[in-house]
Amino acid sequence: QSVLTQPPSVSAAPGQKVTISCSGSSSKIGSYYVSWYQQLPGTAPKLLIYDNNKRPSGIPDRFSGSKSGTSATLGITGLQTGDEADYYCGTWDSSLSAGVFGGGTKLTVL
């Protein structure tokens, strides 16, 4: 069982918007920045969002991040079939003195 909780799967139609949640506790998301990663099938993860809501260069503004209290959210607008992937949130856990990831969410673009 992962330390951060994500829905196992979400789905939406092309062109629509989807949100993926990531919940934790005060010793994790509540106290630290959250990052988000996209893992396309058979590839290494790729950074999408860091410091809760910042996009690295090259990441389109269709991807956004937010955090409130002990939860974070990844938003994806204008869904494309190429967005089908697993998405992971990550942060620090002061109770473990280690980094942690969510269990991952599989996005299906119908």
Partner 1 sequence: EVQLVQSGAEVKKPGESLKISCKGSGYRFTSNWIAWVRQMPGKGLEWMGIIYPGDSDTRYSPSFQGQVTISADKSISTAYLQWTSLKASDTAMYFCARLGAAAGFVDNWFDPWGQGTLVTVSS
Q: What are the residues binding partner 1 (CB under 8 A)?
A: 2, 32-33, 35, 37, 39, 44-47, 50-51, 56, 86, 88, 90, 92, 96-104
Instruction: Kindly state the smallest distance separating residue 77's Cβ from partner 1, in Å.
Output: 22
- Of the pair 15, 20, the CB lying nearest partner 1 is at 20
Written as six digits, the tokens of 1 are 């069982």
Instruction: Kindly state the smallest distance separating residue 76's Cβ from partner 1, in Å.
Output: 18
Q: Are 84 and 32 in contact (CB under 8 A)?
A: no
Q: Residue 89, CB half-sphere, CA atoms under 13 Å: how many? A: 36
Q: Are 96 and 50 in contact (CB under 8 A)?
A: no
- Of the pair 63, 88, the CB lying nearest partner 1 is at 88
Instruction: Kindly state the smallest distance separating residue 80's Cβ from partner 1, in Å.
Output: 22
Instruction: Kindly state the smallest distance separating residue 90's Cβ from partner 1, in Å.
Output: 7
Which value, in Å, is the radius of gyration of the alpha carbons in the chain? 13
- Of the pair 68, 94, the CB lying nearest partner 1 is at 94
Q: Are strands 63-68 and 71-76 parallel, antiparallel or unpaired?
A: antiparallel
- Of the pair 37, 63, the CB lying nearest partner 1 is at 37
Written as six digits, the tokens of 53 are 């809501």
Beta bridge partners of 108: 11
